[in-house]
Amino acid sequence: MRRQASIGILTVAMAWAGFGLGQESPLPRPAAGIYSLAEFGAIQPGAAARETYERAGAAILERGGGLLVLPPGTAPDLEPRNHWGPALTRWQNVDLVAVLDLRYGTPALNLPQQGNPVNNGWAGLKLRRIQDSPFVYWPWTPSKMLHAYQAVVRGGSSVLRNVETVPVGEVVRIYPETIRGIFPNQHLGFRTLGVTPARQAALLVKTLGWDGDRHAPYFIVEELTDRANRLDTRPFALETAGQGEISNKQDFGVADIYSTHNTDSQAYDIKVVRTQYGHGDTFLVGAMYGYQGDVMSGRGDEQGMAFSAEIEQDPAPFAGTVESVDWATNVLVFRPGAYGCGKLATSRPIINLNERKWIIAGTAVVEPDPAEESAGGGWSEGRGRIVGSSDSGWSEAVVGRYFALAEPGEYLEGGDGGSYMYGLGGQHGGRTYRWFPIRAFSRLPDGRLEIRLERIWYTVRDGVPTLYNPANAGRPLRYIIAPGAMVTDVADGWMENLHNRPGPTHPRTLRLAPGPDAGTPLDFEPGDPIVQAVGAEPRQPTGLRIRMFNKVPSSWPGGAIELYNWGIVSQYAGLQIGAPGEATRLDEALSRRKEKRPPFRNAVVVDVPTEAGIRFNADVAHGALVFNQPHAAQPMVWRHAGGWTRLAVDPGNGLMEVTGGGLAVPALRVAGGLSADETPARNLRGLDVPVPAGATRLEVKFAEPESDARYALTAQPNWVTGFGVTAKRADGFAVEFATPAPAAAKVDWILIR
């Protein structure tokens, strides 16, 4: 596979450089060619290799461009930065250089930074095919693609992650819950659970078997003794019996794209632009997933997915120590060993973490603008101010520095770091603050001090932080005001791989925008710890956005997103919204969250007029809207000028209640009864109840007994007489008449609890 990959990359590279492979007829040698770095000088050590590299690029460009190959043995700390080529001032083709790095076995092609014109941009590599010849007929519709990738995984991989019980002493056999996923020569990781210190080992599966006495499958393992040479094994032994986790879960794919952006840009990683001028079904991006296995992997929640997006914020930025600063060139150099050089970026400030240069006196109050209280679940623009106590010591000098809340709960720490790709490290002291530039300062008449912070909301404006805990608004909070400077260039500080740490030969250089503290005692000094601030209040990325710009009415009632189940079994949900491990009780969910809000403020938001918010064009088996109410009532709420009207059903007794407003209906049909308290009435009224002629007393029995006799009842006979209800019981009542009933006598009655 490595040789095939090398040939594939080299083929593309040679095609880029202007060579045709496999052509028998002689062609004139083009101006561009292929060169080895060793042709231009020393390739070891790093400093000499860097000089040779710069000399080679310039020489190749003078010869008309071409391909520079870094052969095996080139200094490993040489960063192949491809910066050659003229600045493009017009739509033109120019001579360029590409770099093919062969140092590590897997070829890496470093393309020109700008490239040459293609369509509406510039590209470092272009693949092109023009189709204008007819294809022969096939009884299906075969695809004719520009570029095809094929990957076949037919052995060696696994998705195993099981918890097994293992005995004390030498472990020869392990009896798994299932033998599925186990195979001979499989490498497994093992770690004990619930034991301190945990025992970890690398295991090799020798054979599989069936225990006839226990009626159970088993597999025999040995421990791998050297990860550098996995052929060496020894018997596997445990000091403590118990449970252990065995695992070997691997990902196999066809193509990965890794893109790192460390400067400001509006960018995409994959863009498909299709102009459809002919008829025909069209798929800009298509996915077909055929399956036969159970799909669910060992402790995996993804299962099979046609499309997946994993979005996570990285809370652990660059952190280092100042080596030198020179404001004549606006350059800061940091010491070797800094963390996260691959995370450096422009337009985020470097903060000085030397606490002797901070202001932390007094307290700060976050005062959101009252007009920002958004109604109806909308979104705030974050306007407001920060008010400092009179003993905080703020002055005009704080303008241009950076403000962060240091109140517990208002910064990231420990377990807040994330669970998927990124987390907090010890190099940040276990904390990540949210730093906001200070834009303005003023003194209030009562002696307090006011600052305004820079907040980005479409444009730059004054604002206040969105608090993790909204209850902290208006409260005195701990804070930090620290000196810092905005980063303008990271090219000589950046290092590939997010967690690599630079050595002494790395440039380790940042270029900064001068700030108010340059050349003062609060300036950066050798030995000062520094960190690059994370985005203090980013707009959270969107998993999927669809924007439509159609001009002609549609002939088909299609949706922007369409879901069809053409299978023969049911799908649980067309759209499912959730959060892993979240409680279904609101109070429990809020207690677990950093920001004291539910995982989603709104599950679905409609911000545009529609003919119908939700339309049902087919029968429903259970209900059009189903409220399971596992704990509290799940009300429907309407906003009006005077507040809110709520319609809710009590989860305990099923009583429906309207609060916050009255109920007006043109007509009302009551199937049961009327009640003014929590006890429902079971009878409403009786019409034309016959009374025997001459009777002075009538006993009435309810169709369904009431819960008790605490009800109001009115009876009305159809003859002129004095009367009264003389007895009320749960199962009925009695009414007596002063004048005996005439022929055809009747009584009407009505009951209200």
CATH of the domain at 187: 2.40.30
Q: Are residues 53 and 116 in the same domain?
A: yes
Of 357, 303, 660, 413, nearest in space to 527 by CA: 357
Q: In the block, which residue shows the tokens 């679905």?
A: 604
Residue 82 above 60 pLDDT?
yes
Q: From 495, 515, 532, give the residue that closes a domain.
A: 532
Of the two residues 49 and 28, the one the predictor is more confident about is 49
- What's the confidence (pLDDT) of residue 24? 36
Mean pLDDT of 341-346: 92
Count: domains in the chain? 4
Mean pLDDT of 171-176: 80
Residue 723 above 90 pLDDT?
yes
Q: Are residues 113 and 173 in the same domain?
A: no
Could you tell me the CA-to-CA distances from 87 to 288, 486, 665 in Å, in that order? 43, 26, 74
Mean pLDDT of 297-325: 82
Residue 505 above 80 pLDDT?
yes
Helices (H), 450-585: none
| 204-218, 308-322, 573-587: the lowest-pLDDT one | 573-587
Q: From 202, 221, 248, give the residue that closes a domain.
A: 248
Residue 87 above 70 pLDDT?
no
Structure tokens at 594: 């950093």
Mean pLDDT of 8-17: 48
* Positive or negative torsion for Cα 565, 570, 574, 575: negative
Distance CA 53, CA 58 (A): 9
DSSP 400: T
Of 356, 325, 358, 353, nearest in space to 339 by CA: 353
For residue 94, the enclosing domain spans 2-22+30-123
The per-residue b/e assignment along 418-451, b for 16 or more CB within 10 angstroms, e otherwise, is: eeeeeebbebbeeebbbbbbbbebeeeeeebbbb
Q: Are residues 115 and 177 in the same domain?
A: no
- Kind plus residue range of the DSSP H or E element containing 649: strand 643-649
pTM as predicted:
0.74
- What's the confidence (pLDDT) of residue 475? 96
Distance CA 673, CA 713 (A): 12
How distant is the alpha carbon of residue 738 from its chain centre?
A: 80
- Mean model confidence pLDDT for the chain: 84
For 510-528, the pLDDT digits (tens) are: 999 999 999 999 999 999 9
Residue 434 resides in a domain: no
- What's the confidence (pLDDT) of residue 22? 34
Q: Are residues 17 and 110 in the same domain?
A: yes
- Kind plus residue range of the DSSP H or E element containing 366: strand 364-368
How many other C-beta atoms are found inside a 10 Å radius of the C-beta of residue 394? 25
Most confident of 78-82, 304-308, 361-365, 409-413: 361-365
β-strand pairing of 364-368 with 412-413: unpaired
Structure tokens at 424: 């907090």
Q: Is 264 exposed, middle or buried (0-12, 13-18, 19+ CB in 10 A)?
A: exposed
Residue 482 above 90 pLDDT?
yes
Helix (H, G, I), strand (E, B) or coil at 49: helix
Q: How many helices (H) does the chain have, and how many strands (E)?
A: 3, 40
Residue 193 resides in a domain: yes
| Residue 750 near residue 713, CB atoms below 8 Å | yes
Mean pLDDT of 254-278: 79
Residue 540 resides in a domain: no
Mean pLDDT of 633-655: 93
447: left (phi over 0), alpha (psi -120 to 50) or beta: left
β-strand pairing of 66-70 with 33-36: parallel
| 91-100, 393-402, 561-570: the lowest-pLDDT one | 91-100
Of the two residues 464 and 511, the one the predictor is more confident about is 511
Distance CA 43, CA 635 (A): 72
Q: Are residues 112 and 181 in the same domain?
A: no
| 57-66, 79-88, 246-255, 303-312: the lowest-pLDDT one | 246-255
- What's the confidence (pLDDT) of residue 147? 58
Residue 586 resides in a domain: no
Helix (H, G, I), strand (E, B) or coil at 657: strand
Q: Are residues 228 and 184 in the same domain?
A: yes
Residue 365 resides in a domain: no
| Residue 219 near residue 188, CB atoms below 8 Å | no
Report phi then psi at 417, rounded to 5. Answer: -65, -25
- What's the confidence (pLDDT) of residue 180? 82
Mean pLDDT of 714-738: 96
Q: From 497, 532, 567, give the residue that closes a domain.
A: 532
Helix (H, G, I), strand (E, B) or coil at 720: coil
- In degrees, rounded to 5, the angle at the alpha carbon of residue 88 between the alpha carbons of residues 87 and 91 is 175
| Residue 354 near residue 486, CB atoms below 8 Å | no
- What's the confidence (pLDDT) of residue 522? 97
